[in-house]
Every structure is written in C-alpha cells, then in structure tokens.
Amino acid sequence: MRKRWYRRVAGPLAAHVPGFREYLVGLGFAPESVRHRMSQFRAISGWLEAERVALSELTQAGLEEFATGRAARGRVVWVSKASIGLPLAYLRLVGLVAPAAAMCTRGAVEETLGSYHDYLLSERGLVGSTAATYVRVARRFLKAKVRHGRIERLSPADVTAFVVGECRASSAVSAKKTVTALGSLLRYLHVAGLAGPLAAAVPKVAGRRAGSLPQGLPAGQVARLLSGCDRLHEVGRRDYAILMLLARLGLRAGEVAALRLDDLDWRRGEMVVRGKGDRHERLPLPVDVGQAVATYLRGERRASQGCRAVFLRLSAPSGPLSSGGVGSVVARACRRAGLPCSGSHRLRHTAATQMLNNGAPLAEVAQVLRHRSLAVTATYAKVDRGSLAELAKPWPGGAA
C-alpha cells in the first residue's frame, strides 16, 4: 500500500487541513509543492499548540514570530517573513486572521494617510496603484514629523529637506514622481486644515520634457523578438500574444496585465483597454493580433476558478500576470533574440514611430495611444520631419 504523502496534523489547525490543501491545489501547485506547503502548515499548527496560542488570538505578528523562531533554532526553510504569505492568505480567507487593514495601528500618521488615500481615490480619481505610490511618499514624509502621537507643525524647510534627501541619488523621472506626490499631499493637508499652503514650497525638478528622441526598435529587431517565441508551448503562445499587443497596438504593460476575457469583442473585432485614470477605451483589434490572442486562449490555460484575466502566470500560485510580469516577458524575449534588454514601454514607442513612418496622421496615432494631449504624441514626430511639419505654424509676415 502506498504510503500516505502527509502526516497527521496536530494542533488547532487540524480541522483546516483539507481546506488548505484544496486552496493550494486551486492555485495550481504541483503535488510535490503541496506536500512541502502542508509540512509548513503542520509546523505552524504544532507551534500554536506548543505556545498555547488559541485560534482567536492568531495574528500576522504571531505567524512572523513562528518564522523567526525557526531561524533562531537553526532551521533553514520557512524562516523568512515572506514564507508565511500563503498560509496567512488562507487563514485570512477563512476568517482566522484579521485583514491587513484591520491590523494597522491607527496612530496620527495612519489616520491621516487613510483619509488621504480615500481622498485620492474618490476625489482625485486615481487608480489604486498610483494612490498607493502617493501614500508611500506621504508616509515617509510624515513619519519624521510625529511627536507624542501628533503631527508637528510643517514648514517650508521641512519640505525642502525631504525633497533633497529623497532625490539626492534619484533619476530625474523618479524625482519628478516624488515631488508630484509630495505636492499632492501638501495640497490635501491644506484643504483638510492640517497644514498651511506649502505646495508652492516643493522644489522643481530640472529637466526638459521630451528632450530626447523616442527609442523605438527597428522592424527587424521586433521580428526577432516575435520569432523567438516557441509557439508549440503554452509559454511561447502567451509571450507571442503579449509582444504583439505591445508592438502593434502600443499598449502599456499595465494595460496588457489588466486585459479581461470580457474586454475582447470577437464579433466586432474590438477590445476594451483599461488605461490610466481608470479610463476604458475601445480599440480595433487587428487580425494578426487577434489571431495571436485567440491561439493562446484556445490552448491549455491553468486558470483558477473565477479568474477572468487573459494573461496568466504559468507557475504557482496561478493567477493574473502582473505588469511586472509583462516586463519580464519582454526582457526574456530580448535575451532569446540576443538584443540588449529593453522595457515594455520601448515597444510602445516602436508602435508609434512605425505608424508615423507608414503615413498615419498624428491625431490617429494619438487616438491609438490614448494620449489626452496631441503635444505628447508630437514627441514621436521628432523622428519624422514630415509629421513634425504638421505642427509648425506659418512664420509671421510670410517667407522672406
């Protein structure tokens, strides 16, 4: 008789063993990985029993203590705080551990940041990822100004010192994001009556907008990226479809990651793109791009129940591919093609310059790229003198 592949779990989590195993299988973990994860679950349950911790007292901090305790005893696996991520997610799912938001200490800074986050989402219309970035900058700025549980009075000197410290070793792009987020926070604090009008004290970041040419890839290099995808396998079909969306339609990495099955209208040959600022816009779906996506979707896709994302991770835990994952697809394609590593946004530049070189007017390119201002699209016209001439106004008085 074959030996049972897991030992009996003792302790307060014993009743949750079947549910956790089903949770792991649903996430796409292989049997060997499930066995290792169940071993960790058994260890957590044994630790709870040894420490006499009731399930009602279980917290994220307690699970982190379990991990660090293993490290102190000389163990080498399941010893980092990140290692408790999966059991913690399951225990939150079944209600044994409180959600992360409920576990935050609600001091002066956290109360302010919570209200600021709600303001960004409801009043300013920012998407969740952008709001989270703004809040991270705000937390770094405010945490040094708390004394005795209250936020101290802010001054222009505090603003300048923070910007100098944050941006000392940052690129111009990163520095601009920091000062933009800080300006947003200071405007909110003024409106909320928590600070004076300090937004004007935020230093400007030097650097000309669109001072360099857009870095598109030559057509031959794009062909090499695409031909490097092995479309006999699932990963190759997925990567090929992603590269086609990036290079032909100029989608951003986040827009590719956000694509849902319901966004594809096969009858009309259109797709809905979920862009910046939660904007939903329809674009035509070219035949070759549609065929690439359809070929991938008709293959074996290991999607978890209820997952409507088009592009999925191929390793456990299964789920939607992130924008970072889309960037990794491009990086791997560059390595296969023997090209310098490029970001996904460079393929957006490639799509724009190719459309201009094929004679598309700026207004049409702006519509495909979903730019709010034609001036943004005009940066791509610098590689095409004919398109750039469309923006030039007649010289006063006419030619000499």
Of 80 and 380, the structure prediction assigns the larger pLDDT to: 80
131 token code pair: 């709001």
**Does the structure show a pLDDT above 60 at 102?**
no
pLDDT, residue 20, reads: 92
Confidence of residue 183 (pLDDT cuts 50, 70, 90): very high
pLDDT, residue 154, reads: 83
pLDDT, residue 291, reads: 95
Confidence of residue 382 (pLDDT cuts 50, 70, 90): low
What's the pLDDT tens digit per position in 79-95?
888 888 899 889 988 88
Distance CA 361, CA 111 (A): 50
pLDDT, residue 359, reads: 80
pLDDT, residue 368, reads: 80
Of the candidates 115, 150, 147, the residue with the CA atom closest to the CA atom of residue 131: 115
Select, from the ranges 9-18, 41-50, 73-82, 127-136, the one with the highest average predicted confidence (pLDDT): 41-50
**Does the structure show a pLDDT above 90 at 332?**
yes
- Report strand pairing: 280-284 vs 270-274: antiparallel
Lowest mean pLDDT among 195-204, 249-258, 295-304: 295-304
**Does the structure show a pLDDT above 80 at 337?**
yes
Could you give the strand order of the β-sheet that contains 264-265, starting from the edge strand earlier in sequence? 264-265, 270-274, 280-284
pLDDT, residue 26, reads: 84
**Does the structure show a pLDDT above 50 at 261?**
yes
Q: Give me the percent of the chain exceeding a pLDDT of 70.
A: 86
CA geometry: angle at 110 spanning 108 and 116, to 5°? Answer: 105
Between the CA of residue 199 and those of 13, 126, 377, what are the distances in Å?
A: 52, 19, 29
pLDDT, residue 105, reads: 45
Mean pLDDT value across residues 341-352:
85
- Report strand pairing: 280-284 vs 150-151: unpaired
Q: 215: left (phi > 0), else alpha (psi -120 to 50), else beta?
A: beta
Q: Which class for 319: exposed (0-12), middle (13-18), buried (19 or more C-beta within 10 A)?
A: middle
pLDDT, residue 121, reads: 85
208 token code pair: 């000309």
- Angle, helices 287-298/234-249, rounded to nearest 10 degrees: 160
Count other C-beta atoms under 10 Å from residue 120's C-beta.
Answer: 24
Using CA atoms in the order 275, 281, 285, 290, what is the torsion angle rounded to 10 degrees? 50
Q: Give me the percent of the chain exceeding a pLDDT of 90.
A: 24
Q: Are 356 and 381 in contact (CB under 8 A)?
A: yes
Q: Are 353 and 383 in contact (CB under 8 A)?
A: yes
Confidence of residue 104 (pLDDT cuts 50, 70, 90): very low
Q: Give catalytic residue positions.
A: 252, 276, 345, 348, 371, 380
Q: Is the dihedral of CA 108, 111, 113, 115 positive or negative?
A: negative
What's the pLDDT tens digit per position in 202-249?
888 876 555 555 667 888 889 999 999 999 999 999 999 999 999 998
Q: Radius of gyration (Cα) for the chain, nearest Å?
A: 26
**Does the structure show a pLDDT above 50 at 149?**
yes
Confidence of residue 304 (pLDDT cuts 50, 70, 90): low
Q: Are 369 and 381 in contact (CB under 8 A)?
A: no
Of the candidates 35, 24, 75, 43, the residue with the CA atom closest to the CA atom of residue 318: 24
